[in-house]
Structure 1
Amino acid sequence: MDEFRAAPVHTSRGYRYHSANVNPSHAYLLPAVRRLLSRCGSADRRIFEVGCGNGAVANILTAEGWEVTGVDPSDEGIARAREAYPHLRLAQGSAYEPLSETYGTFPIVLSLEVVEHVYAPRDYARALADLLEPGGHAIISTPYHGYLKNLALAVTGKMDAHFTALWDHGHIKFWSVRTLTELLAEAGLDVVEVLRVGRVPALAKSMVLLAEKPRRTG
């Protein structure tokens, strides 16, 4: 499909966007996102997207009836989004800022393929939790790492390509289900479902977690 052909380019400046199209990873991420959104059970169809990139995912979800607000630190990504999707509420910003003070809280927070890039993941996780209403849900994806996949990468000699050590601002944190669950738990979020997507589960390209913010008690 043409909509899945334009991937961001790895450069010394981090991500650069040649278009406002989705990239190939969205071919397996979006079906998982839709499945988890259906599990959230919220009549309030507002989503806050942390790391909205070029706005492609926000545009698709908006067309499906969601009301999406989003931020991304990439000036080029936001410029592409504003040019292609002027109807969307997207702005430059990051999880290192007090986003909930600016935008309020939401029933759903979405963040796809972002946590592996952040230098302070606890700040990122707290930002997601602060953006969520009590009882709200976060949907977070990141490249999957597990014993069998790491072994396969080592045996096939693909470790260097996978870890992208020469990509400035590239992947700097490599998460397993356990470590990402622990990170979210520290921020007060309970993981309720994990999907492994992109290949067979043991060799999955990414994992998509659904986490819930407990309702206040007392």
Structure 2
Amino acid sequence: MSDSSIVQDEIDRFGAMAGDWWDPSGASAMLHKLNPVRLAYVRDQVDRHWQGDEQGLKPLAGRTALDVGCGAGLLAEPLARLGATVTAIDAAPGLIAAAQLHARGQGLDVDYRVSTVEALDGQYDLVTSMEVIEHVADPRAFVAALERRLAPGGLLILSTPNATGWSKLLTITLAEGVGAIPRGTHDFDKFIAPERMQALLADAGLQCIDVEGIAFSPTRGLHLSDDLRLNYLVAAVRA
């Protein structure tokens, strides 16, 4: 069993945030702001990929989903509400415990597991991993492990900060500097540019079918954009 994605310091750091993960004003406040933007992208890509009804309430009904690095379930719960049978994994036991508790309170059935993607079996129609790849030890091996979990005809969606000066300024210098993101969360040397991301996907036998930015403005806040400088999402399928 390979644990190539494991960086223990990262697990400990995020695990320490479990207690207030669901507090929109707590240590995970930025993730709460990011989540609706990411979810809008996921919904759009799901509708496109499976040519579903854009007005339908359960576009993932009858499909399986895997959320890798799920934290305490910010994305996994909406995926379940969209109709998916959801498995969600994280290497931090405290986060999984918080996720299980919150899901029960919401009446949601999500299969939460303390696991790495390398240790997991099975394949899933939709695989998501949001703001995770910049925290792993070996991005190439991590993407390859994600590909192994993707079912034939499936869809993979990732998000990550871009490796730009603008991203470093907003994410580390400003957001971490003022405490909007816990200090030490990010290492700029591990940020991944879209070109490198597409190469990692190609090396794993995946084809990138879409790239979209997450930008910030004082009037709109975080929003989907053609501007990739801050953060971006990618959708991929088997090549």
Same fold (TM > 0.5): yes
**Residue-by-residue CA offset, 1:75-94 (whole Å, 9 max, x unaligned):** 12101111111321011112
1:90 aligns with 2:112: yes
Per the alignment, residue 193 of structure 2 pairs with 176
Aligned AA (1:34): R
CA positional deviation for 1:130: 0.3
Report the Cα distance in structure 1 between the residues aligned to 2:12 and 2:101, rounded to whole angstroms.
Answer: 21
- Aligned partner of 2:211 among 194, 198, 208: 194
Report the Cα distance in structure 1 between the residues aligned to 2:47 and 2:183, rounded to whole angstroms.
Answer: 38
**Residue-by-residue CA offset, 1:54-74 (whole Å, 9 max, x unaligned):** 012111121121221110111
SS at structure 2 position matched to 1:20: coil
Within-5 A mapping of 1:1-218: 13-15=12-14, 16-17=17-18, 18-20=20-22, 23-41=32-50, 44-86=62-104, 87-95=109-117, 97-99=118-120, 102=121, 104-146=122-164, 150=165, 152=166, 160-161=173-174, 167=184, 173-199=190-216, 200-202=225-227, 204-214=229-239
Identity %: 27
SS at structure 2 position matched to 1:111: strand
Mind listing any 5+ residue stretches in structure 1 that lack a counterpart?
1-10
TM-score (norm 1): 0.77
CA positional deviation for 1:12: 9.8
Aligned AA (2:112): L
Distance 1:157 1:63, change over 3 A: closer
SS at structure 2 position matched to 1:31: helix
CA positional deviation for 1:173: 1.4
Contact 1:106–1:133 (Cα < 8 Å) also in 2: yes
SS at structure 2 position matched to 1:198: strand
TM-score (norm 2): 0.71
Aligned AA (2:87): T
Report the Cα distance in structure 2 between the residues aligned to 1:170 and 1:153, rounded to whole angstroms.
Answer: 11
Aligned AA (1:56): L
Cα RMSD after superposing both structures: 3.0
Contact 2:67–2:75 (Cα < 8 Å) also in 1: no
Distance 1:40 1:161, change over 3 A: same
**Residue-by-residue CA offset, 1:88-143 (whole Å, 9 max, x unaligned):** 10111123x332xx3x1112111111101001111211111000122221001111
Report the Cα distance in structure 1 between the residues aligned to 2:100 and 2:68, rounded to whole angstroms.
Answer: 16
Distance 1:77 1:37, change over 3 A: same
Mind listing any 5+ residue stretches in structure 2 that lack a counterpart?
1-9, 24-30, 52-59, 217-224
Contact 2:209–2:236 (Cα < 8 Å) also in 1: yes
Tell me which moved more, 128-137 or 157-166.
157-166
Report the Cα distance in structure 1 between the residues aligned to 2:171 and 2:66, rounded to whole angstroms.
Answer: 35
**Residue-by-residue CA offset, 1:116-171 (whole Å, 9 max, x unaligned):** 1001111211111000122221001111334xxx2x468x7986457889626766
